[in-house]
Amino acid sequence: MASAYYEFYRGSSIGMVLTDSLDELITSGAITPQLAMKVLQQFAKSLADTMVKQVKAKVTMKGYLDTYRNCDDVWTFIIKNATFKMEGNEMVTTPRIKIIACKNGDAIEAAKE
């Protein structure tokens, strides 16, 4: 079941810090590499579940689609000069943003059945 969750969350700031911390614990002999892998798998599952179940904010985005690609049902979009309008009419702009979109873990499990 752990393989049903994408591993790109590990590339986030918190994911990289977690990986570094686990590496230090392995090096010091405090945990085994197998336990570290279980922690990373649980991290990916928990983050994916939280994003699906608890994030309810809506945003409107405008920008220029620079690049897009699809590999193994994972879409990657590069948007330039993006403007985000939040629910409270707050505006945020950025010169470039990378968006990664994929099926959630439940959809992947359903597809396997």
Residue 107's identity, in one-letter code, is A
Q: Which domain holds residue 34?
A: 2-54
Q: Residue 82 and residue 14: Cα distance in Å, rounded?
A: 24
Task: Return the pLDDT at 81.
Answer: 96
Tens of pLDDT, residue by residue over 5-48, are 566 677 788 889 999 999 999 999 999 999 999 999 899 888 87
Q: Which residues contact 69 (CB under 8 A, 6 or more apart)?
A: 75, 76
Q: How many domains does the chain have?
A: 2
Contact predicate 18/41, CB 8 Å: no
Q: What is the pLDDT of residues 37-92, one digit of tens each?
A: 999 989 988 887 888 788 888 889 999 999 999 988 888 999 999 999 988 889 99
Distance between CA atoms of residues 44 and 38, nearest Å: 10
Q: Are 84 and 91 in contact (CB under 8 A)?
A: yes
Q: What is the CATH number of the domain that holds 32?
A: 1.10.287.190
Q: Are residues 70 and 49 in the same domain?
A: no
